[in-house]
Amino acid sequence: MSTFPRKISDSTVRRSSLYLRVLEALELEGSDTVSSRVLAERVGATAAQVRKDLSLFGTFGTRGLGYEVTALRERLAEILGLSHEWPVALVGAGRIGSALFEYPNFRERGFQIVAILDSDPRKVGQSWDGIEIHSTRELERTIERLGVEIALLAVPASVAQGVADHLVESGVRGILNFAPTRLRVPPGVAVNEVDLALELETLSFVLEGGGRDGNPAPEDVAAGPEGESR
C-alpha cells in the first residue's frame, strides 16, 4: 500500500522502531502530544533527526504543537509492518533457539512463533509450549501451510546457508540469522545478521585502544532536562 518516495535508510527504520516504543510508553503515561525534542531525548537522538526521519514517511506533526501521540503511534506501527501479526518460524531448537522461543518481546510486537523446526531426531516430536518440533524434512510443507514469511535461523554455521536456501525456496522473505556466516540470498529476500561474537569484538577493539573515545559523549547533557518522571 504505502510506498515511499526515496529509499528509507536502515538507520531511519531502526530509529523509527525506537520512536514507536517511546510513543507507546507516552501513550500509557497519558501524553496527547509530543515534540520532536522530547522524542529525541528519549531515544538518544537529536530533534532535527527525529523530524527528518518522520518527514520521510509523510507529514504527521502540527507546527507549534508537535505530534499527536496516538495517531503517530498507529501510523508508525503501520509503516513498520506491525499492524498485523507475523507468523514466524524458528529453525534450530538448540540453546539459542530456546532462548528466542521464550523471548517475550517478539510476541508482544506481533511476531508469533508458529513453527519450530530442527534436524535432530531426538528433538523432533517434542513440544514447546504446545508447539510441536517438526523435522527440517517437513520444512517446506510447514512454512507453506502456515504462511510463514519470516524465519529465525538459529542453526550451526556449517548448515546455515543450506537451510536458508531451503527457507527461501519455501517462500520465506525475511531471515534473522544468528549463525556467524554471511548468508547469500536472492534479491527480494531480506537478511539481518545477529553476530554475537562480532559484537564483542567491536567492544574489545575499543577497549584495546582502537577507538579514540569509547563513548561518543552524550551530546548536550547541559541543557536543563524537563521531563521529570516520577
Partner DNA sequence: ATTTGTGAACATGTTCACAGCT
Partner DNA sequence: AGCTGTGAACATGTTCACAAAT
- Range 25-64, binding a second copy (CB under 8 A): 43-44
Residue found under cell 524465519: 151
| Residue 99 touches which member of DNA, a second copy, none, C-beta under 5-8 Å by kind | a second copy
When the beta carbons of 63 and 95 are compared against a second copy, the nearer one is 95
> Cα separation of 141 and 188, whole Å?
21
> Cα separation of 19 and 28, whole Å?
14
Question: Which residue, 65, 119, 63, 55, is CA-closest to 92?
Answer: 119
Query: DSSP labels for 83-142?
Result: SS-EEEEEE--SHHHHHHHH-HHHHHTTEEEEEEEES-TTTTT-EETTEEEEEGGGHHHH
Indicate which single residue of 45, 79, 90, 160 sits in contact with DNA (rule: CB under 7 A): 45
CB–CB of 188/164 below 8 Å?
no
**Taking CB under 7 A as the criterion, which residues in 95-134 touch DNA?**
none
Does 181 help bind DNA (rule: CB under 7 A)? no
When the beta carbons of 45 and 152 are compared against DNA, the nearer one is 45
Question: Which residue, 106, 105, 178, 169, is CA-closest to 140?
Answer: 169
Question: How far out from the chain centre does Cα 228 lie?
Answer: 29
Which stretch, 46-54, 60-68, 128-136, 171-179, contacts a second copy (CB under 8 A)? Answer: 171-179
> What is the nearest approach in angstroms of DNA to the Cβ of residue 50?
8
When the beta carbons of 38 and 163 are compared against DNA, the nearer one is 38
> What is the nearest approach in angstroms of a second copy to the Cβ of residue 211?
6
Indicate which single residue of 213, 220, 222, 223 sits in contact with a second copy (rule: CB under 8 A): 213
Residues touching DNA, count (CB under 7 A): 26
| Residue 2 touches which member of a second copy, DNA, none, C-beta under 5-8 Å by kind | a second copy
**Taking CB under 7 A as the criterion, which residues in 46-105 touch DNA?**
46-49, 51-52, 54-55, 59-67
E strand segments, the chain: 33-34, 61-62, 66-68, 86-91, 111-118, 127-128, 131-135, 150-153, 174-177, 190-193
| Residue 137 touches which member of DNA, a second copy, none, C-beta under 5-8 Å by kind | none
Interface residues toward DNA, by CB under 7 A = 9-12, 34-37, 45-49, 51-52, 54-55, 59-67
